Amino acid sequence: MSLRSGSARSRILSVMPTVAVVCGSRSDLATLKGCFEVLDGYGIEWEASVISAHRQPEALRAYVAEADAAGVQLFIGAAGLAAHLPGVLASLTARPVIGIPLDGGSLGGADALYAVVQMPPGVPVATVAIGAAGAKNAGHLAARILALADPALASRVETFRADQASGAEPRIDPRAAS
Ligand code: RP5
């Protein structure tokens, strides 16, 4: 895992991780904590970058080209307000893009949800829920996509599902409740 911000041109790591997470502002990082934890839980290598689609469009283009060439398998884009970052990511790469609408704006994330989910045909963004729940699900969805070509990861996904099922509330009879 690694976190960085600023221009893609400053990158010095020689190996790209499997998943590249890009968000539009440093203020977005706290909401993405659950995403990073889920990816770590599955043992998926990731890095996160703060690159704004509207403030740093050239840096974003350069970063995606570099990540694509270096073998990143999947992008996760997270942004609030007008939230065009995931869509711009999908315009710059043929890899799958998962979009997380963030809830920082005065519309409670509905603005970002509409922006991320309403991509025109041909430029798909797999949109998850608003905010922290969506951040976690972005990690889980990334794992499921990557597991299609990774049997060991597929096994970890199944283990998670089994653990989740066994931890769920058992069926109860409300008539028996006192
Ligand atoms: C979006 O605008 C970012 O993704 C962030 O969610 C929101 C506010 O950004 P800052 O003004 O905090 O940088 O581009």
Domains of the chain, residue spans: 2-6+25-147
Which option is the CATH number for 2-6+25-147: 3.20.20.10, 3.65.10.10, 3.40.50.1970, 3.30.1360.30? Answer: 3.40.50.1970
CA gap 125, 50 in Å, rounded: 19
For the segment 115-158, what is each residue's pLDDT rounded down to a tens digit?
999 999 999 999 999 999 999 999 999 999 999 999 999 999 99
Reported confidence tier of residue 2, pLDDT bands at 50, 70, 90: low
**pLDDT beyond 90 at 3:** no
Weakest mean pLDDT among 8-12, 78-82, 166-170 = 8-12
Which residues sit with their C-beta closer than 6 Å to ligand 1? 23-25, 27-28, 52, 79-81, 102, 104
Mean per-residue pLDDT for 30-56?
97
* Distance from Cα 24 to the centre of ligand 1, integer Å: 6
CA–centroid distance, 105 to ligand 1, in Å, is 9
Query: What's the pLDDT score for residue 172?
Result: 76
Residue 173: the pLDDT is: 78
Instruction: Answer yes or no: are the C-beta atoms of 52 and 7 closer than 8 Å.
Output: no
Best residue for ligand 1 mutational test, from 52, 81, 111, 130 (most atoms within 8 Å of Cβ): 81
